[in-house]
Amino acid sequence: MDLLRWMQQWDMVPEKGEVVLCAVSGGRDSMCLLHYLHSLAPAYGFTVAAGHFNHQMRPEADADEQFVRTFCAERSIPFYTDAAPVYERAEAWNLSVEETGRRLRYEFLSRTGSQIGASRIATAHHGRDNAETVLLNLLRGTGTEGLGGIPPVRGKFIRPLLQTSREEIEAYCAENSIPFVEDSTNRDTHYARNRLRLELWPQLETINQNLTAALGRTAAIVRAENDYLDALAEEKLPAEGTAVPLDTLRQAPEVLRRRMLRLLLHRLPTGKKDVSAAHIAAMLELVEKGRGTLTLPDGARICCAEGTMTFSVAQAAPPEQALHKGENHWGDFTITLSGEVEGLTVRSWRRNDRLDVETGSRSLKRLFLDGGISPLHRDFLPVVCLRGAAKGVYLQENSSPFTLEINSETITITITRENIQEETDNG
């Protein structure tokens, strides 16, 4: 396993006196990377530190943390850790478990890297991870940006193993007697990546046994072409700021117009993570209309007015709060209760929310789809809950109040917005 040439090619090797923070889960890949960087450090005069984020998703999570801590202590490797309940955060943030874990993990790594003065933060993504990412993005329809796969370098983050095969990592660990732990969730086909890895990948290898290398080459080509087109798009934008004349966007070829919009989003603190093709299409439509607003993931807000498109960060949806008799205020809405109900709250919707309707039970997602409510606006609609279970939601104008039967008492709930009598029912 010869990583040095690859690391030198992408300027990944830290300078003398610098610190590199290595993300370490305890699995084979990250333990391989930690061992390699620690072995390389004396020759180049840099220091390696280990960062472990405990996702609290498995019974053995604490044991995995202790395993990494002990490995580092035996080798005098500085060790940093943090933890968060990923399942709970995913529900609260209305995100998938995978995305929630990723966000928490990268926030920890970025924060820790800044605290210890790390010039680089290394993650153990390897060639197979990159190939899987390309396939997943292809299936999701993310466009050429997603087909570029995992970048070798992004800011402080480096991927020294990105051209290394899984077989090479296994051989290196065996040769150097590197211990590691197995993550039981890697066999859970509930997650899309695991389904691809365990079920789809073996079938694809019957067509091309060198699938990892083939997809890696494709990703490298697409990344180079993306970089070139991004440079052309950047030239058409103002040198700084997050506002652009609409005429500038309209006069650009569509292939560059899409990239110009993504680059403007990237200038926001929230970045452009989770911005889909549907979001870009809505933005392009807004450019043509020349007026109106859009709200995108992570609170990005786009406003068109007076010949200018402006990108900013919108206020997040209000947090969950208790409801009491009389008027209650949540965001732009007023929720009025005819009586007092213990355990009644209002919040934004969650993926597993369902409502009882006349025909049975329907998911909120389906009700939103049937009501023509855009994903851009769903997070800001109030959902009334009784002890966590959804009981009513604002769906459309001019609907009727809904009622709850609580201990033989009927409670009427009315939701209005912006002083306009717009009410909701329970389905």
What pLDDT score was predicted for residue 422? 34
What pLDDT score was predicted for residue 420? 39
3-state helix, strand, coil in the chain (%, to 5): 45, 20, 35
For the chain, list the domains and their CATH numbers: 4-211 (3.40.50.620), 242-313 (3.30.465.60), 321-417 (no CATH)
CB of 295 closer than 8 Å to CB of 376: yes
Rounded average pLDDT over 294-318: 82
The answer to whether residue 402 scores a pLDDT higher than 80 is no
Cα–Cα dist 258/281, whole Å? 9
The answer to whether residue 89 scores a pLDDT higher than 70 is yes
The answer to whether residue 201 scores a pLDDT higher than 90 is yes
Query: Which of 382, 372, 424, 366 has its CA nearest to residue 400?
Result: 424
pLDDT tens digits along 115-168: 999 999 999 999 999 999 999 989 887 778 889 999 999 999 999 999 999 999
Rounded average pLDDT over 368-393: 82
Apex 299 CA angle, 293 and 304, nearest 5: 20
Determine which helix (DSSP H) or strand (DSSP E) holds 92, and give its type and residue range: helix 86-93
Confidence of residue 173 (pLDDT cuts 50, 70, 90): very high
Confidence of residue 419 (pLDDT cuts 50, 70, 90): very low
Look at residue 225 and give its three-state secondary structure.
Answer: helix
CA 23 to chain CA centroid, nearest Å: 18
The answer to whether residue 317 scores a pLDDT higher than 90 is no
Cα–Cα dist 417/397, whole Å? 9
What pLDDT score was predicted for residue 244? 95
Where residue 408 falls (left for φ over 0; alpha for ψ -120 to 50; beta otherwise) is left
Query: Which of 67, 72, 73 has its CA nearest to residue 54?
Result: 67
Torsions phi, psi of 292, nearest 5? 115, 180
What pLDDT score was predicted for residue 31? 98
CB of 416 closer than 8 Å to CB of 401: no
pLDDT tens digits along 26-73: 999 999 999 999 999 999 999 999 999 999 999 999 999 999 999 999
Cα–Cα dist 143/28, whole Å? 32
Q: Is the pTM of this model over 0.75?
A: no
Confidence of residue 271 (pLDDT cuts 50, 70, 90): low
